[in-house]
Amino acid sequence: MVLSLKVGYLVPGVVVKSMPDHDAHLILISGTELLAFLPKRYANRPHKAGQNLVACVFVVEKGKIILSQRSHHYYIRVAERAFSVLIEEEKIRIKRAVSVQGAGFAKMALEGLNDTDPVRECLPYLPVMKAYTDDTITLVRYSRDIKEYVRNALAPAPSDKIRKVIFSSTLREAVVGVDPAYYGLFVGKGGTNVATAAKLLDITILIRKAEDTNL
């Protein structure tokens, strides 16, 4: 049965107990006799014994199952549930979802199909995801124009405060000049906003105060 579980599968479970020595919760996967670990750093909210939850299979190795509620698989799977109507109607496509350690939020890139604005379409369904995570989900419009995609990915920082984006395809690096008064919003607490945006695009993003550069 362990071998039939694959990374990325969304599984329901029950919290058996907390495991202080492992800093994790012991989870019984529903409908089976399989036990798995949910490390607390991979849990998106506090859990107590007896609680039901869903999580994604993160690692299956040597008979040991590790679950996560913060992996990109998890965010995508719960989004597929929340946005199922829009996906079935071929209005949107989920491109990617990422988070960074300690951020408390995730960014999700959505592509609009048939001239659909994916963020506008998905916003009414976003509360459905609250049943699965306490993390804030920032919806990002995917764009084939890398400069536009960088602007979008830095949300919720205001895109109209971006003065210029310079992108090097060779370095896979974007230098973003922003209004100095909004520098902190673009960087985010502890650098988490820019780090998550960079991870979403799989590039390096450098935020610069426009007054300090030629941007």
Q: What does the DSSP assignment read for the chain?
A: -GGG--TT-EEEEEEEEEETTTTEEEEEETTSS-EEEEEGGG-SS---TT-EEEEEEEEEETTEEEEESSSHHHHHHHHHHHTHHHHHTTSEEEEEEE--TT-SEEEEEEEESTT--HHHHHGGGGGGGGGT-SSEEEEEE--SSHHHHHHHHTTTS-GGGEEEEEEETTTTEEEEEE-GGGHHHHH-GGGHHHHHHHHHHTSEEEEEEGGGS--
Give a yes or no: residue 110 inside a domain.
yes
Under 8 Å between Cβ of 111 and 119:
no
Give a yes or no: residue 165 inside a domain.
yes
Under 8 Å between Cβ of 207 and 187:
yes
Q: Per-residue pLDDT tens for 159-208?
A: 999 999 999 999 999 999 999 999 999 999 999 999 999 999 999 999 99
Residues 61 and 7 placed together within one structural domain of the fold: yes
Give a yes or no: residue 147 inside a domain.
no
Confidence class for position 151, pLDDT limits 50, 70, 90: very high
Q: What is the rounded average pLDDT of the residues 142-169?
A: 97
> The domain spanning residue 50 has which CATH number?
2.40.50.140
Residues 121 and 165 placed together within one structural domain of the fold: no
Residues 42 and 78 placed together within one structural domain of the fold: no
- At 1 the pLDDT is 47
- At 5 the pLDDT is 83
Residues 58 and 100 placed together within one structural domain of the fold: no
The domain total for the chain is 3
Task: State which residues form the domain around 164.
Answer: 157-215
Give a yes or no: residue 152 inside a domain.
no
User: Phi, psi at residue 64, to the nearest 5°?
Assistant: -100, 130
Residues 208 and 174 placed together within one structural domain of the fold: yes
Rounded distance, CA 52 to CA 131, Å? 12
Q: Per-residue pLDDT tens for 49-101?
A: 999 999 999 999 888 999 999 999 999 999 999 999 999 999 999 999 999 98
Confidence class for position 212, pLDDT limits 50, 70, 90: low
Residues 75 and 63 placed together within one structural domain of the fold: no
Range 24-56 burial, b when 16+ CB lie within 10 A, else e:
bbbbbbeeeebebbbbeebbbeebeeeeebbbb
Q: Which amino acid is at 65?
A: I
Distance spanning both ends of the chain, measured CA to CA: 57
Q: Which residue has 């310079």 as its token pair?
A: 166
Going across the sheet that includes 173-178, the strands are: 162-168, 173-178, 204-209
Give a yes or no: residue 200 inside a domain.
yes
Residues 79 and 18 placed together within one structural domain of the fold: no
Residues 20 and 59 placed together within one structural domain of the fold: yes
**Which sign, positive or negative, has the C-alpha torsion 40, 63, 72, 114?**
negative
The residue among 119, 142, 165 that closes a domain is 142
The residue among 15, 39, 69 that closes a domain is 69
Give a yes or no: residue 163 inside a domain.
yes
Q: What is the rounded average pLDDT of the residues 138-160?
A: 98
Residues 65 and 77 placed together within one structural domain of the fold: no
Give a yes or no: residue 52 inside a domain.
yes
Global pTM? Answer: 0.88
The residue among 42, 69, 96 that closes a domain is 69
Give a yes or no: residue 150 inside a domain.
no
> The domain spanning residue 193 has which CATH number?
3.30.300.20
Residues 128 and 188 placed together within one structural domain of the fold: no
Residues 79 and 65 placed together within one structural domain of the fold: no
